Structure 1
Amino acid sequence: MQRINPAVPQSSLQEALKEVERIHSPELLAANEIFHRLLTEGVKVSYQKDGQDRGNLVWLIDFAKPDNNEFVVANQFTVIDLSPHGGNDQNKRPDLVLFVNGLPLVVIELKNPADENATIKAAYKQVDTYKHTIPSLFTTNAILVISDGLEAKADRCRQVSADS
């Protein structure tokens, strides 16, 4: 965040990060919409500079210069949801999670094409299970991808379905 927002004091960057971490709602879609607004419009912060109150936006992603961002793909990333709306400290391992600047923006569930029971519907059901047991992963989720190895579906947020 400091590389993307060099003019913003460290304390304000921490304030912005806390605002993202505080997003909690019993409704996943509502929490995701709050995060999406912060991601696309910036996180508003205020601070003192030269004795005056200043306001600024903290950007979570550098959309203008993508090379300023850090991209990581994690295979079998373990998530333990400790949030108030989580699944009782259960852990799950989505197949792939794509992170941008430490934010899990893409969740991918893949089924083995050699398994005759591996259907696009099974991938969808697995993601649905994740939504109930590790909902905190989906607060920052921008894209979901499901695949049975032959067919793949992607959609924004949690709207992907086996039938669409």
Structure 2
Amino acid sequence: MKYNATVNFKEEFSAKIPALTLLNNLGYTFISPSECEALRGNTFASEKKSTHQVILLPVMRAFLAKQTFSFAGKQHNLSEAAIDKVMHELNPAMNLGLKAANEKIYNALMYGVSVTEFIEGKKASPTIKLIDWQSIANNQFHYTEELVVQNADGTGTRRPDIVCFVNGLPLVVIEAKRPDSNKEGKSTNVDAISQHIRNQRQDEIPHLYAYSQLLLAINGYEGLYATCGTQDKFWAKWKEEQIPEAEIVRLKNHKLGGEQLNTLFNHRLNKRVRLNLNNSSMLS
């Protein structure tokens, strides 16, 4: 196939697909929207089914099932009751407001969740971690696109462009925009930031942002980042301090293999997207 030098400024080609590909190259595993709905306990084909739940439930439970705690000189696995307790603690307390709910999830991520277990009639109170900070390979990394989230009132849905999960928890929310702006002197990332701020409102999808530890606005040309509750004027440009520039270039330009492309694009109706991606240098 001949290289097509025509630049396509639609956000799908210029920002979103490159971001999806880069996440794959960083080690995240893509799950299609329908697979994601199933893992959330929702039925994608049913419009009547609630899409309020945003955790990948079996992924988080599987991680917890592998965690052990020390008691009386022995290692013990968590009981189902303890796993249920942790999952309950991960329900954001939205009645306290978004910032308080986000802080509660942050503390759970950093310091773990305390549970009560009984071993041979003796009480144990271990603190269970939600992320293995020492051995990154012990964690599960997933991402999806067009995550359907029901708003707080149950009257409609929003669809963030990309959401990244760590052990089933939606810790990163990304909005992608095309790079060419119709507003002179203004980046299209202004619109992406506006969407993030709107979606955090009480009547929107704050229950997704309660988990978020990183928010990104990208347009294929620049990226801005913030955290929950950040005003638009405080969003900042991302500056990579740990990954060498040569490694960044390699990751951005590494082409996906056939199986990776199938996983990423088989759910799309237009197969030409997959072919064009593999035979162009749009990621350079």
| Normalised TM-score (structure 1) | 0.87
Partner of 1:57: 127
Among 115, 120, 140, the alignment partner of 2:189 is: 120
8 Å contact from structure 2 (residues 67, 78) kept in 1: no
CA gap 1:160/1:146 in 2 versus in 1, 3 angstroms: farther
Separation (CA, whole Å) in 2 of partners of 1:160 and 1:72? 28
Q: Which has the higher helix share?
A: 2
**Off by >6 Å, runs of 4+ in structure 1:** none
1:129 equivalent in alignment to 2:192:
no
Partner of 1:2: 65
Aligned-pair CA distance for 1:9 = 1.8
Partner of 1:91: 157
Aligned-pair CA distance for 1:25 = 3.0
Separation (CA, whole Å) in 2 of partners of 1:61 and 1:153? 25
State the AA in 1 paired with 2:123. Answer: D
| Normalised TM-score (structure 2) | 0.52
CA gap 1:112/1:7 in 2 versus in 1, 3 angstroms: same
RMSD: 1.9
Gaps of 5+ in 2: 1-63, 69-75, 236-284
Aligned-pair CA distance for 1:154 = 1.0
Aligned-pair CA distance for 1:37 = 0.6
Partner of 1:29: 99
State the AA in 1 paired with 2:170. Answer: P
Aligned-pair CA distance for 1:60 = 1.1
Q: CA offsets, 1:14-34, max 9 Å, x none?
A: 111111115323421111001
CA gap 1:156/1:163 in 2 versus in 1, 3 angstroms: closer
Aligned-pair CA distance for 1:110 = 0.9
Q: Which has the higher strand share?
A: 1
CA gap 1:119/1:87 in 2 versus in 1, 3 angstroms: farther
Query: Radius of gyration: which is bigger?
Result: 2
8 Å contact from structure 1 (residues 4, 68) kept in 2: no
Aligned-pair CA distance for 1:131 = 1.0
Number of aligned residues = 160
Separation (CA, whole Å) in 2 of partners of 1:75 and 1:13? 28
